[in-house]
């Protein structure tokens, strides 16, 4: 853990303390009100322990391990995405090639080849996959197959891979937090935005934004969440990032808005497929995509924002 700065260690300890406090609070409620069914809340907190524990453990390792871990996350997310969308028998070989693109994308990250990293999937992979589908000779459903496969790779591989590249950015440009600090900053703001929008929506929510896509999303929850994330971005910018206070506030604003967009886009997929969750891998939270939906938009936007300003 020699690559972790004091700031990142302190932030990690604060997060663990907050999660420990939440655990004790729920146990106290269960003791005081044994008639209440808090099993779902308890399950969610246990899952948060597992997820945060996994993230913090991975961050203790050197860069190659972190990059490999995020690559595995992309694989699981792509597999989950392909498990819920309808595919043709003729798509199998193209899907196989889509999986093969994951180690290549993360190899460019491991060697720090930014130029190829940023165009490999949206240019070369997007040109190759339709051709691989064409050579099967099956044209029925071709457009749908191309669109779903390309968008799945874009969300689960290209977007998520920006999380790994944050970690391998030159640490000298961010002495306060290093690569781990940038990752923590993004994850804290993304997940904090989700929680804040939920809390504000439950407390003050009246006017629906997109009721046909996500009935529980309200303007009050959205605006309250963005304001909270903006403030959180400002406060944590000096601790974990090389950004100034104003730049940190703008980062929080961008993450608040883009996180909402990622959430509702994946919600639209689930509505279209008539499913509640994308999977069951995380008890109380659904699948991998249910937890990564916001990150699919916040990761690339935050990465390029920081990269443009400081790298």
Q: What is the mean pLDDT of the chain?
A: 92
Q: Which of 34-38, 67-71, 240-244 has the lowest mean pLDDT?
A: 34-38
The pLDDT assigned to 28 comes to 84
Please compute the mean of the pLDDT values over residues 275-299 and round it to a whole number: 87
The pLDDT assigned to 3 comes to 81
Contact present, 45 and 23 (Cβ < 8 Å): yes
Using CA atoms of 58, 60, 63, 64 in order, give the dihedral in degrees to the nearest 10: -50
The pLDDT assigned to 1 comes to 58
Contact present, 204 and 223 (Cβ < 8 Å): no
The pLDDT assigned to 38 comes to 63
Residue 284 has pLDDT above 70, yes or no: no
Given pLDDT bands bounded at 50, 70 and 90, which one contains residue 126? very high
Please give the backbone phi and psi of residue 275, each rounded to the nearest 5 degrees, phi first.
Answer: -125, 155
pTM: 0.94
Residue 302 has pLDDT above 70, yes or no: yes
Please give the backbone phi and psi of residue 218, each rounded to the nearest 5 degrees, phi first.
Answer: -125, 160
CA distances from 300 to 43, 150, 165, 261, 303 (A): 31, 17, 10, 13, 5
The pLDDT assigned to 181 comes to 96
Given pLDDT bands bounded at 50, 70 and 90, which one contains residue 25? confident
Residue 307 has pLDDT above 80, yes or no: yes
Q: Whole-angstrom Cα distance, residue 138 to residue 240?
A: 51
Given pLDDT bands bounded at 50, 70 and 90, which one contains residue 283? confident
Residue 185 has pLDDT above 90, yes or no: yes
The pLDDT assigned to 48 comes to 87
Q: Which of 123-127, 189-193, 210-214, 294-298 has the lowest mean pLDDT?
A: 210-214
Q: Whole-angstrom Cα distance, residue 271 to residue 145?
A: 19
Given pLDDT bands bounded at 50, 70 and 90, which one contains residue 47? confident
The pLDDT assigned to 182 comes to 97
Q: Whole-angstrom Cα distance, residue 116 to residue 113?
A: 6
Share of the chain above pLDDT 70, in %: 97
Instruction: Answer with the residue of higher pLDDT: 106 or 136.
Output: 106
Residue 2 has pLDDT above 90, yes or no: no
Share of the chain above pLDDT 90, in %: 78
Q: Which of 45-59, 92-106, 233-247 has the lowest mean pLDDT?
A: 45-59
Q: pLDDT tens digit string along 58-116?
A: 999 999 999 999 999 999 999 999 999 999 989 999 999 999 999 999 999 999 999 99
Contact present, 164 and 63 (Cβ < 8 Å): no
Nearest Cα to Cα of residue 298 among 240, 255, 252: 255
The pLDDT assigned to 278 comes to 86
Please compute the mean of the pLDDT values over residues 182-195 and round it to a whole number: 95
């Amino acid at each position: 853990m020699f690559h972790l700065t004091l700031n990142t260690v302190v932030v990690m300890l604060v997060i663990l303390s907050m999660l420990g406090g939440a655990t004790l609070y729920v146990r106290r409620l269960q003791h005081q009100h044994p008639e209440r069914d808090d099993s779902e809340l308890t399950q969610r907190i246990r899952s948060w322990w597992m997820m945060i524990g996994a993230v913090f453990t991975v961050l203790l390792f050197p860069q190659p391990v972190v990059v490999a871990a995020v690559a595995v996350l992309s694989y699981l997310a792509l597999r989950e995405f392909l498990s819920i969308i309808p595919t043709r028998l003729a798509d199998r070989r193209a899907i196989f090639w889509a999986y093969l693109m994951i180690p290549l994308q993360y190899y460019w990250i491991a060697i720090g080849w930014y130029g190829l990293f940023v165009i490999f999937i949206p240019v070369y992979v997007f040109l190759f996959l339709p051709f691989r589908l064409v050579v099967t000779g099956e044209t029925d459903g071709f457009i749908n197959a191309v669109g779903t496969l390309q968008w799945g790779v874009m969300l689960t591989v290209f977007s998520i891979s920006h999380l790994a590249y944050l970690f391998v950015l030159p640490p000298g440009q961010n002495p306060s937090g290093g690569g781990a600090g940038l990752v923590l900053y993004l994850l804290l703001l993304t997940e904090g935005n989700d929680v804040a929008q939920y809390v504000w929506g439950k407390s003050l929510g009246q006017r629906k934004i997109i009721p046909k896509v996500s009935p529980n999303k309200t303007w009050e929850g959205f605006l309250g969440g963005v304001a909270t994330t903006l403030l959180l971005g400002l406060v944590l910018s000096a601790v974990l990032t090389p950004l100034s206070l104003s730049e940190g506030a703008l980062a929080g604003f961008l993450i608040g808005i883009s996180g909402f967009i990622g959430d509702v886009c994946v919600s639209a997929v689930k509505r279209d497929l008539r499913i509640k969750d994308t999977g069951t891998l995380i008890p109380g939270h659904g699948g991998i995509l249910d937890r990564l939906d916001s990150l699919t938009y916040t990761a690339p936007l935050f990465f390029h924002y920081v990269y443009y300003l400081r790298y």
